[in-house]
Chains A and B, each alone.
Chain A
Amino acid sequence: MRGAAARGPIVIRPGRLPLSWTVDRRVPPVLLLLGLATVVATVLSVGYGQYFIAPLDVLRTFLGLETGNPNHPFVVTTLRLPRVLIAFLVGLALALAGTIAQGLARNPLASPDILGVNAGASLAAVALIVLAPAAPFYLVPPAAFAGALVVAALIAALSLRGGGSPIRLVLIGVGFAAVAGALTTALLTLGRTLFAARALIWLAGSVYGRSWRELWAILPWLAVFVPLALLLARHLDVLHLGDDVARGLGSRLALWRGLLLLTAVALAGAAVATAGAVGFVGLMAPHLARRLVGPAHAGLLPTAALTGGLIVLLADLAGRALFAPVELPCGVITAIIGAPYFFYLLYRSGGS
C-alpha cells in the first residue's frame, strides 16, 4: 500500500468544468471494493428474513426477471429494498457529516452524534410528530435540520468561547444531548401518540418499517448536500491545516466553514429524521476510512461515505439476524461496537 502511495496521487478533472480532485492512488480500488461489498451486503440483507429469498433470486428480481415465485417482487421491492437502501443512505449521510465535523473541528472525537447535534434533530423531529400529528412526513427532515442547526450553532459559539479542546467540545455535546433527550422524553410523555415501545426503538435508531415514502423524503437532501460535500473537499483540506495557514493560503474562512457546517448539519438532520439517532457511525466511519485512504478529503469523503453506509447496512442485518425473530434496532448495534471504539480513540488521543 505504501509503495502505491509513493507513486503519487491521481488527479481527476471532469471534462470542461472548472473542477478537480486530487486523490490518493489507493482511492479507486478501495472505493471499488467498498462498492462491491455494499452490493453483496444489499443482496444478502434484502434476501434475509423470516421469508428467506436466495441471493440469486434477489438479483433476478432487481433486474426485473421472473423468479417463478409471484411473492418475490412484492417482498423485495415493497417490503425490504426501501429499508435496506435507507439503512445505507442514513449511514452514508452520518459518515459524511462526521468526516466534515472532524475536519472542521480538527478534533478526532467530533461527530454530530457525539456533539449532541443528532439529539437536537431528534428533539425537533419528535416535537413535530407529537405536536402536529397531521403534518406530512416530508416536513420531518426540515424540522430535524432546524433542530440540528440550533444545537450546532450553540456548540460553535461555545467552542469559540471555550478555546475548544477536543474533550471539552465533546462534553458540551454531552450536556446538550442530555437536555434534548430529556425534552424528547417529556414530549413523548405529553403526546402519548406513539406507543412507548415504538418510541424507544425510534430513539435508539432504527430503520424498522421504513418504506419508499421515507426514502423519497431523504433523497432530495442527499441529492443536494452529498455533491456539495464532495465539491467542498478541497476547502476542508485547507481548513484542516489551521486558521492561520488557511488564511495565508487565501481561503475565505468564514464562507467555507459556514457552508461546510451547514452541509454537515443538513446531512445529519436528514439521517436522524429518517432513522432516529443511530450513534457512533459519524465517529467510526471517518477513522476507518482514514486508515484505508489517508487524510486528503477528496478521497476520504467518498470512502467514509461508503464505509458508513456499509456499517449501518450490516448493523441492520445483524440486528435482524442475531436474535431472530426479535429485531434489535441498528442503533443499538452501532453503539455497542462504537463505544469501545470511542474508548480506543480516547486512549490514543491521550486527552490532549
Chain B
Amino acid sequence: MAGVGAGAVGTGVARGRPSLAVGLALGVALLLLCAFASLSAGASAVNPGAVYAALVAPDGSNAQVIVRTIRLPRTLIALSVGAALAVAGALMQGLTRNPLASPGLLGVNAGAALAVVLAVFLFGVGSVTLLTWCAFLGAGLAAAAVALLGALGRGGATPLKLAVAGAALTAFLSSLTTAVLVLNERTFDEVRFWLAGSVAGRDLGLFLRVAPYLALGLAVAFLLARRITTLTLGEEVARGLGQRTARVKLAAAGCVVLLAGGSVAVAGPIGFVGLVVPHLVRPFVGTDYRWLLPYAAVTGAALLTLADIGARLVLRPVELPVGVMTAILGGPFFVFLVGWKVRR
C-alpha cells in the first residue's frame, strides 16, 4: 500500500452506522451555525436577530441589505465551493491512492485558472457559460498532464513524485497566467481579485450558472462512493470483485473536473481545502467513501466558511482573499504530512 494511503488511518474502533449518522447530523447543525455566523460577521457586524429577520421578513434596512446582497451570496459560495473542493480532494486521494493528491497541489486549479484567464483575454468576460466550460477544459487538461508527468521515469507514480510533478506543473501554469496578465492590463483588471482565490464580491448570477455542475459532480460522486471504496483496495482487488475499474476511474475523474473546475470558475484557485479536509475526516469515519464523502462535503463547507469569516476579521477593516487564509492554515499541515506521514 502506498504511503498512509486511504486505508491505514483511524480504524481503531469499529463505529456503527447510527453513530456516524448522528455525527453527520451534528456536523450539518454546526455547518448551519457557521453559515449563520458568516451572515452576521464582518466589517459591520449584524446581530443574529437582524440576520434572522433579514432572511424571513426583509424590510429593506441597511443591515438587512448588507446581509441579503453581500453576505448571503458570499456565504452560499463559500459553502458550495468548500464542499466541492473537499469532495474533489477526497476523490483524488482515493483514485490515486495518494494522500497528497488534491486539486490545488496537482495543478488542476492552476490549469482551470489559466484557462479562465486565457478565455477572458481572448473573448472578454461576456459569456459566463463559455468561461465555465473553459475552466472545465483547463482542469481536465491539467489533470491528464499531471497524471502523465507523475508516472514518468523509474518507479512510476509514487505519491511524493506525483506531488512534485504537480508543484512544478502549478509553477509552470501560473507563470503562463502571469504572462497573460502582464501582457494585457484589461484582463488583469478584470481577473485580479478573482485570481487570489476569494469568495467575496462574486456575482450571484455566475454562481447560479455554475451551481448545477457542482451539484451534478457531488451527486455522481456520492453514487460512485461504494465503488471508490473498492478501488482504494487496489486496482487488482477491484477488478477481481467484478468492477470495471476504467469506467469508475473515468467517472470519478469527470467528477473531479466538474467540482474543481466549477469551484475555480466561481471563486478562483483556492488551495489546501481539498488536501486537508479528507485527512481531518478520515480518523472519524474510516475509509468507507459512502460516509467519507458526505463528511468531507460538510467539513469542507464549514472550513471554507470559517476561513472566510477569518479573512474578514483578522485585518479588519481590510479583507484578505480566503485563499490566503487556507494557504496559511494548510501549508504547515502539508509540511507535516510530507515530513512525517507519507513514507514514499
Contacts and interface: CB of A to CB of B under 8 A. Distances in A.
A340 B323 contact: no
Interface stretch (A22-30, A195-203, A211-219): A195-203
A323 B183 contact: yes
Contacts of A204: 175, 178, 182
Interface residues of A, number: 49
B182 A343 contact: no
B188 A179 contact: no
A55 interface: no
B172 A339 contact: yes
A168 B339 contact: yes
A326 B182 contact: yes
A185 B270 CA distance: 13
B176 interface: yes
A179 B154 contact: no
B153 A347 contact: yes
A186 B175 CA distance: 20
A175 interface: yes
The main secondary structure of chain B at its interface with chain A is helix
B57 interface: no
A343 B152 contact: yes
A182 B169 contact: no
Contact of A343 (B149, B271, B325): B149
Contacts of B158: 351
Contacts of B328: 179, 182-183, 186
Contact of A186 (B178, B315, B338): B315
Contacts of B321: 185, 189
Contacts of B192: 196
B196 interface: yes
Interface string A156-192: 0010011001011011101110110111011001100
A170 B171 CA distance: 13
Nearest to B166: A174
Interface stretch (B30-38, B81-89, B248-256, B329-337): B329-337
A142 to B, nearest CB: 25
B168 A182 contact: no
Interface stretch (A10-18, A239-247, A285-293, A329-337): A329-337
| Residue among B160, B176, B188 with the highest chain A CB neighbour number at 10 A | B160
A171 B158 CA distance: 13
B14 interface: no
B161 interface: yes
Given A162-B339, A342-B168, A335 B175 contact: yes
A237 interface: no
Contact of B164 (A171, A279, A331, A336): A171
Contacts, number: 144
B339 A182 contact: no
A189 B318 contact: yes
A136 interface: no
Interface string A16-42: 000000000000000000000000000
Interface string B171-198: 1100110110111010010001000100
A350 interface: yes
Nearest to B335: A175
A346 B149 CA distance: 9
A348 interface: yes
A122 to B, nearest CB: 14
A185 B196 contact: yes
Given A189-B320, A343-B152, A351-B160, A182 B338 contact: no
Given A186-B320, A326-B182, A351 B153 contact: yes
Contacts of B298: none
B238 interface: no
Nearest to A342: B168
B94 to A, nearest CB: 20
Interface string A304-340: 0000000000000000000100111101100110011
A55 B171 CA distance: 36
B324 interface: yes
Nearest to B326: A182
Given A185-B324, A329-B182, A175 B338 contact: yes
Interface in B290-326: 315, 318-321, 323-325
Contacts of B205: none
A126 to B, nearest CB: 13
Interface of B: 100, 105, 149, 152-155, 158, 160-161, 163-165, 167-169, 171-172, 175-176, 178-179, 181-183, 185, 188, 192, 196, 271-272, 315, 318-321, 323-325, 327-328, 330-332, 334-335, 338-340, 342
Interface of A: 109, 158, 161-162, 165, 167-168, 170-172, 174-176, 178-179, 181-183, 185-186, 189-190, 196-197, 200-201, 204, 279-280, 323, 326-329, 331-332, 335-336, 339-340, 342-343, 346-352
27 contacts: A158-B339, A168-B338, A174-B164, A175-B335, A176-B335, A178-B331, A178-B334, A179-B327, A179-B328, A185-B196, A186-B315, A186-B328, A189-B324, A190-B318, A200-B182, A201-B182, A204-B178, A279-B175, A332-B179, A332-B182, A342-B168, A343-B168, A346-B168, A350-B155, A351-B161, A351-B164, A352-B155
